[in-house]
Amino acid sequence: MQRKLIALAALAATVASGATLVTAADKANANNAARGKQLYMATGCYQCHGTRGEGGGNAGPRLAPGPLPYEGFLMQLRKPRQRMPVYTAVVMPDSDVTAIYAYLQGVPQGKPAADIPILKGLSAAGVQP
């Protein structure tokens, strides 16, 4: 009982001070995303999907920002619908897939063209970016 009171008092003091609480889960997810980026590059995902999952051209589709739901992502790796290598659980364990997915989830949304000065200038001149 006394330990719970001490823990609650410490939590209240931390919240009152305005400090940000970084949980073990937050740290684990950040580590997983960093590992996912390494795996994404090492396994060659970037060759078709771009270094940040942007896709395009004749290459693979866009994966980020906002990847498919995890279940669809995993299914596409295990049993691809289009031209794509099959990544079995032997080749890429679920833990690696989860790490790559964490990396793709962390890719930030890009700025809209209207917020990019050089593109805004082109648009004002009647040129379509």
Q: Give per-residue pLDDT as tens, 109-125.
A: 888 878 888 877 665 65
Q: Is residue 66 very low, low, confident or very high in pLDDT (cuts 50, 70, 90)?
A: confident
Q: Which two tokens stand for residue 25?
A: 């889960």
Residue 103 and residue 40 in contact, taking contact as beta carbons nearer than 8 Å: yes
For the stretch 9-63, pLDDT in tens is 444 444 444 444 546 565 667 789 999 999 999 999 999 999 999 987 777 889 9
Q: What is the CA radius of gyration of the chain?
A: 21
Question: Which is nearest to 100 in space by CA: 61, 67, 57, 72?
Answer: 67
Q: In terms of Cα–Cα distance, which of 30, 52, 32, 31 is closest to 41?
A: 52
pLDDT reported for residue 42:
96
Domain boundaries, the chain: 24-110
Mean pLDDT of the chain: 79
Q: What is the pLDDT of residue 106?
A: 93
The predicted pLDDT at position 2 comes to 54
How far apart, in whole angstroms, are the C-alpha atoms of residue 84 and residue 45?
A: 10
Greatest C-alpha distance within the chain: 70
The answer to whether residues 77 and 93 touch, using CB atoms and an 8 Å cutoff, is no
pLDDT, residue 13, reads 46
- Burial (CB < 10 A; 0-12, 13-18, 19+), residue 61, is middle
Give the tens place of pLDDT for each residue, 67-110: 889 999 999 999 998 889 999 999 999 999 999 999 999 999 88
Assign domain 24-110 to a CATH class: mainly alpha
